[in-house]
Amino acid sequence: MSSEEKATPKKRKAKASSEPSPVLVEESSNVSSHSEEQLTTSTKEQVDAKASELVFDDMQDANMTLEDEVRELVLEARTLPTGQRRLVLLDLAEQYPSSIWPFVDLSSIMSRAKENIEMAERGLHNATRFSEPSFVEKNKGRYWELPETRPYMQLLMNKARGLMEVRRLDAALDLMQKVLEL
């Protein structure tokens, strides 16, 4: 492989469509020339534009909830390089603080274990309905079978991983035991 081929980033194809998403897409070659502040501003503008677009789309698709819309934005962000994805997810977490979705991804890609734990805790705070005693009693033993509980389970696992990285093994084991019981 020539050095020119190595320097040229490969583009990922979007799963849902062959065209790149009009949102959150920026030429990879231009990303390195932007400062982090410019990239954050540009990314925030893209997120704001997509959020506005989704408000209008929501009128057309009454079955899609705000949480579904945020999930779609997070799925789009997964196609971006890690640094840019982190910025987009942080913007989504700021813009939609009550959503669980940005925190699921943020709790696994932050550069420090303590940040991963913090993001997992913020997401778990938004997912309290999955830890309510009546919900747990009704669904215990089959959480992974329920699609709506999977982000909650992922947050628990991400938090457990972070706890292991900072050597809080007892807390990590307790959390993993909870995951196994659910």
Q: pLDDT band at residue 128, thresholds of 50, 70 and 90?
A: confident
Please give the pLDDT value at position 160: 92
Percentage of the chain lying above the pLDDT 70 cut: 65
Which of these three, 99, 123, 140, is where a domain ends? 99
Q: Answer yes or no: is pLDDT of 55 > 80.
A: no
Asked whether residue 92 is domain-assigned, the answer is yes
Q: Would you say residue 81 lies in a domain?
A: yes
Residue-by-residue DSSP string for the chain: --HHHHHSPPPPPPSS-SSPPSSS---HHHHTTS-HHHHHHHHHHHHHHHHHHHHHHHHH-TT--HHHHHHHHHHHHTTS-HHHHHHHHHHHHHHSTT-SHHHHHHHHH-SSHHHHHHHHHHHHHHTGGGGSHHHHHHHTT-GGGSGGGHHHHHHHHHHHHHHHHTT-HHHHHHHHHHHHH-
Tell me how many domains the chain contains: 2
Same domain assignment for residues 175 and 121: yes
pLDDT of residue 11: 39
Domain that holds residue 53: 34-99
pLDDT in tens, 74-104: 999 989 998 899 999 999 999 998 888 999 9
